[in-house]
Structure 1
């Protein structure tokens, strides 16, 4: 179970001259930019939660806080009783996090990259081999497992990054826009992979701008706008609040209500 309550993070603003107040983001004041002001949501075992919001709303910052890459200024984030914010070292053992900039070591093969991160998590050789075999088959990576990462296509690299994200069998999976830039076939494989986590009873959170992915996969939705939770509920509740059966129209309806 993942439970996020009142998450907040601010960054100090650089001094600027001549900035017109009308063009400033409302979250910037008193010398600080409040990227995340009050974000709350939950994701139960076997649920997939879609994190939505306009560009710059605070989605990526929220996910980086949950991954412990950033330290929150306020709030709580609990995974099976472990506070991610207060016990980051213990939390990292339970989290699989894919950021928009998750990189690979170009001179290592696809398989070597995944194995390397498995070893960092203390996996023994036999278990690591079985786990890699399983992931490479699930993500259809067998044909290029021995190919260097710097020679892989965008879709191949993303699948490899997904495999290294979950090789240690995390108790929660967090993916930041995992299908961005992928072709239809690669996107389908990754979406099927996300769907498979429902059967594993592992909470999975992913951010996306593609609402057809939300409609296909998600049990719950959290919409962030201007650093705050604008909506937190089921897909059907989103349709009701947004006043439309079409998710795109419902999403815009919720954002317009907030604005």
Structure 2
């Protein structure tokens, strides 16, 4: 089986993941003019690397960027995808994978019927110390196409959500798109960006790229202001690494307060209006 990796530092992890009899290819993406590559640019370039190499499996290091890259690349290749894999096995019908679920509490086995697979792996998760050494590997270099280079993300802001140091996130309690415009003023005041829990994204109030949580992005800012967010397990999994969590909610029993370092019980609009007024 031929495996394409996106970073040579995970060669041993990739081999430990799939076992012996594997040919490893490094898909090296070259940006233009040294600019930062957007996930779409990486995905398009890697899709060309897969076509050139004929790889059946693509393995990328698991991190926040992988959560954007893996599904985008799988969509281009029209194949299956899986994050945080601990084991990958080729079967007659496709693939079997083992990965953590429920926030890492247990491991589960899944079957995917797909000719190819795009997977992420955490360093050392597959027992890389026992993997066979690779003396040399083929390198496929692909250059990102002009016009796909951006500094930022599809949210139109200068700082990608995963790299933001300050985040103001809104939930169902914000009430609609107009509420997020007000959150934008608070974010601008503290030099941050706007994010959301899943309900506002599902309702179309904000783009899906704003979503923080298990099915969204995982963030670890210095300050995370949660406005009108109840605090579901799914959302907390995406922002629990924040150094300082400030919750604003009218419900004193909202689960978000158990995760917050500071909490304000009250009408979120009144609270934010007071903050903006004192700053202005």
User: TM class by shorter-chain length?
Assistant: under 0.3
TM value normalised by structure 1: 0.26
| TM, length-normalised to structure 2 | 0.24
* Higher relative contact order structure (alpha carbons within 8 Å, sequence separation ≥ 6): 1
More helix by share: 1
Greater gyration radius: 2
